Amino acid sequence: MLLLNLIQKTLSDWISFFADRLLSNVKKTTCSMRLFFNISLIFLLCSACDFHQPNQKVLGTTTDHAMVSSAHPLASAIGVSVMQDGGNAIDAAIAVHFALAVVYPQAGNIGGGGFAVIRMHDGSSSALDFRETAPSLATKRMYLDENGDLNNKRWSTHGRMSSGVPGAVDGMFSLHKRFGSKSMESLIQPAIDLAKNGYELTFLGAKIINTTQEDFREHNDWPIPYLQKSPWEKGDRILQPELAETLVRIRDEGRNGFYQGKVADQLVAEMQKGKGLISHDDLANYKSVWRTPIAGTYRNHKIISMPPPSSGGIALLQLLQGTEMHPIADWGHNVSETVHLMSELERRVYADRATYVGDPDFVEVPVDQLLDSTYNHQRFADISMKKATPSSTVSAGTIPPIESQETTHLSVVDPNGNAVSITTTLNSSFGSKVLVEGAGFFLNNEMDDFSSKPGVPNQFGLIGGDANAIAPHKRMLSSMTPTIVTKNGKLKMVVGTPGGSTIITSVYQTLLNVIDFGMGMQEAVNAKKVHHQWYPDEIRVETNALPQPTIDQLQAMGHSITPTDKLGRMDCILILPDGRLEGGADPRGDNTALGF
Ligand code: DON
Across the chain, which has 596 residues, the per-10-residue mean pLDDT values are: 36 35 31 32 33 63 98 98 98 98 98 98 98 98 91 89 98 98 98 98 97 96 96 98 98 98 98 96 98 98 98 98 98 98 98 96 97 97 97 86 72 98 97 98 97 91 93 98 98 98 98 98 98 96 97 98 96 97 98 98
CA of 482 to the centre of ligand 1 (A): 12
The pLDDT of residue 401 is 55
CA of 424 to the centre of ligand 1 (A): 8
Q: Is 274 exposed, middle or buried (0-12, 13-18, 19+ CB in 10 A)?
A: middle
Measured CA to CA in angstroms, residue 145 lies from 142, 153, 310 at distances of 8, 10, 28
Residue with CA at minimum distance from ligand 1 atom 11:
406
> Is-cis flag, bond preceding 454, omega within 30?
no
The pLDDT of residue 491 is 98
Shortest CA distance to 477 belongs to which of 306, 311, 289? 311
The pLDDT of residue 58 is 84
Do 497 and 409 touch, CB atoms closer than 8 A?
yes
Atom of ligand 1 nearest to the CA of 312: 3
Measured CA to CA in angstroms, residue 416 lies from 19, 76, 89, 120, 122 at distances of 54, 18, 9, 9, 10
| pTM to 2 decimal places | 0.90
CA of 4 to the centre of ligand 1 (A): 36
Q: List the Cα angle 519/523/525 in 5-degree steps.
A: 110
For a mutational test of ligand 1's pocket, the pick from 106, 157, 357, 427, i.e. the residue with the most ligand atoms closer than 8 A to its C-beta, is 427
Do 218 and 258 touch, CB atoms closer than 8 A?
no
Sheet holding 294-298, edge to edge: 62-63, 581-585, 571-575, 490-495, 483-487, 301-305, 294-298
Instruction: Tell me the C-alpha distance between 453 and 151, whole Å.
Output: 11
Of the candidates 407, 424, 505, 510, the residue annotated as catalytic is: 407
Shortest CA distance to 96 belongs to which of 482, 407, 406, 412? 412
The pLDDT of residue 405 is 57
Is 499 near ligand 1, meaning CB less than 6 Å away?
yes
Shortest CA distance to 218 belongs to which of 433, 444, 437, 445? 433
For a mutational test of ligand 1's pocket, the pick from 100, 410, 425, 591, i.e. the residue with the most ligand atoms closer than 8 A to its C-beta, is 425
Shortest CA distance to 421 belongs to which of 585, 305, 591, 302? 305
Question: Rg of the Cα trace of the chain?
Answer: 24
Is 425 near ligand 1, meaning CB less than 6 Å away?
yes
- Other CB atoms within 10 Å distance of the CB of residue 557: 18
For a mutational test of ligand 1's pocket, the pick from 157, 306, 407, 449, i.e. the residue with the most ligand atoms closer than 8 A to its C-beta, is 407
Is 157 near ligand 1, meaning CB less than 6 Å away?
no
Is 10 near ligand 1, meaning CB less than 6 Å away?
no
Do 502 and 407 touch, CB atoms closer than 8 A?
no
Atom of ligand 1 nearest to the CA of 498: 9
423 assigned to active site: no
* Chain Cα centroid distance, residue 285: 28
CA of 407 to the centre of ligand 1 (A): 5
Is 570 near ligand 1, meaning CB less than 6 Å away?
no
CA of 427 to the centre of ligand 1 (A): 5
Q: List the Cα angle 480/568/84 in 5-degree steps.
A: 75
What's at 337, amino acid-wise? E
CA of 480 to the centre of ligand 1 (A): 7
Residue with CA at minimum distance from ligand 1 atom 10:
406
- Other CB atoms within 10 Å distance of the CB of residue 538: 18
Shortest CA distance to 559 belongs to which of 379, 386, 329, 417? 386
Instruction: Tell me the C-alpha distance between 165 and 142, whole Å.
Output: 16
Instruction: Tell me the C-alpha distance between 139 and 573, whole Å.
Output: 41
- H-helix or E-strand containing 587? none
Q: What is the dihedral of CA 555, 559, 563, 568, to 10 degrees?
A: -130
Do 440 and 452 touch, CB atoms closer than 8 A?
no
The pLDDT of residue 43 is 31
Do 407 and 423 touch, CB atoms closer than 8 A?
yes
SS3 (DSSP) at 446:
helix
